[in-house]
Amino acid sequence: MKPKRFIASSSMRRSSLLCTVLIVLLLPVMNCKKQDAVIDQGVQGTVLFWRGDFQCCPIKGSKLPVQREVCVFELTNEHQVTNYGAFYDTIQTKMVAKTTSNDGGFYQLRLAPGRYSLFVKEGQYFYMNSSDGYGNIQPFEVVAGSLCQLDIDITYMAVF
């Protein structure tokens, strides 16, 4: 006995075509918050706020782009700050630049070549949850003529 071939009805083909057209049209709209770089040297990325439970199945959390003040300091070591976990109220190095991410979380800053640390403002505190193995807080390097892509994950309201 030969298997029966499934032949889609014309209404199913129209529905499928309509879904495909909608996806193609809506994808650019859904990603419209992301911007292309208008700078040629510095740092750029997206700020995401994580909230909820990200432990094993099912994940009950969300990662949403947010507006935050993004601050770049001279390279900062953990011995140059007063901190409370991932929150800092005193940073002894010089702030060299700051901006605010847009409602899609996108930020960018033009910077001179060099090594820096990045923080975001959370209320009255600075926040950052990563460091290298040498105690430098969220270090990154800007190389002449290039952009450093550095996404920021604000995770203090998330469980892992």
The predicted model scores a pTM of 0.75
Nearest of 81, 82, 84, 110 to residue 93 by alpha carbon: 81
Contacts of 123 (CB under 8 A, 6+ apart): none
Taking only the tens place, the pLDDT of each residue in 15-52 is: 443 333 333 333 333 333 345 668 999 999 999 999 99
Please give the domain boundaries of the chain with CATH numbers for all domains: 42-159 (2.60.40.1120)
Nearest of 58, 38, 61, 60 to residue 50 by alpha carbon: 61
CB 103 within 8 A of CB 65: yes
Taking only the tens place, the pLDDT of each residue in 61-87 is: 999 999 999 999 999 999 999 988 899
In this prediction, residues 82-103 reach a mean pLDDT of 96
Taking only the tens place, the pLDDT of each residue in 108-122 is: 999 999 999 999 999
